[in-house]
Homo-oligomer: A and B are copies of this chain.
Amino acid sequence: MDSVSLSEVTVIRRTHLGFMHSFRQPFSGVPISLKFSSSKGARAISSSITNNTKSHQFVYGERISATSDSGYKINGVVNIKSRTMISSVKERLLLDATDDQYGGVIVDHRKLPSNPYAFASMLRASLTDWRRKGKKGVWLKLPVEQSELVPIAVKEGFEYHHAEKGYVMLTYWIPEEEPSMLPANASHQVGVGGFVLNQHKEVLVVQEKYCAPSITGLWKLPTGFINESEEIFSGAVREVKEETGVDTEFSEVIAFRHAHNVAFEKSDLFFICMLRPLSDKIIIDDLEIKAAKWMPLVEFVEQPMIREDKMFKRVIEICEARLRHCYCGLSPHRLVSTFDGRPSSLYYNVVNDENDPSHSNCIADYL
């Protein structure tokens, strides 16, 4: 299981926490000590809860007798003895959880019972408790090592929220009279394309190994997805280097494209970047790329599939305008906001300054 601190799963609401807000680390979660730990929590909770939990214990006691005391196994899903279960339920009545600052609770995934029966019982008792306390959203992260708990949570009414290699996150919205205010899952993938032109007016192009048959033979710009937590500017440089072996320096984002339902019904933001070449020798990445070369810009643009495509034509016009100093791209500026102390990149044109006209992206030379 990936090591994940509690603050990383701490959550969130619908309103974007960006400008003027995410700066303030609203995800820090502020654990407000409503801990339901087995020993301490059980003593702290009210008698009504204790009674409530007891009744669940009884229900599960009945189920055990139905399966006898022999224990069984199916593909690792269940492998317990009922005696273990009973003692486990007795020891831990409610799941360990902390409050979030939006009226919800976050179950502590590091303290989940390994016993599915105990989990089922505790989850149900906890839901009753959270409902009684007026809690709203419940966040339940199940590590991949405890995948046998997934169907149990689903059966209790939990929904999938998102998943990463090491876990699946499930949620439950308690208030029946209110629409769910839980924030959505990540919605976008982000790609970059590199427009790299050398002093001979040749553009760096590739042919991909895996592509739809209809574009076989087309020379295109090197493109790729940015990696987790990678910057757009460094992602573009990396992709060009990986696919073609050419070193470059980031110049500007000159445009971006927003499209929907691209992969897994997610949206796609694609940033078209101008990069200055720092080397010219081509060494292709055999896994992804069939061929790469420096191609005269005129020849590149004359490819029928590009000539006939409105979007691509416009992008080439923009790149050419940029070379003639008739277009302003966006440059990244590293700025730490005092709101959250988080370093981030703000992409913008340099503001024209009447006292210093050279202070503009449009005027800066590309090569």
Residue numbers of A with Cβ under 8 A of B are 4, 8-9, 11-28, 63, 66-67, 72-78, 101-102, 116-117, 120, 144, 147-148, 150-152, 154-155, 159-169, 181, 183-193, 208, 210-212, 214-215, 218, 220-221, 223-229, 231-232, 239, 243, 254-270, 272, 287-288, 305-306, 308-312, 314-315, 317-318, 321, 326-328, 330, 332-333, 335-339, 342, 344-349, 351-354, 362
Contact = CB atoms under 8 A, between A and B. Distances in A.
B309 A337 contact: yes
Nearest to A154: B147
A190 B305 CA distance: 31
Nearest to A8: B265
A161 B165 CA distance: 6
A212 B24 contact: yes
Contacts of A12: 263
Contacts of A28: 212
Integer count of this chain's copies in the complex: 2
A189 B188 contact: yes
B72 A72 contact: yes
B120 A215 contact: no
Contacts of A211: 21, 24, 26
Contacts of A328: 328, 349
A168 B160 contact: yes
B226 A263 contact: no
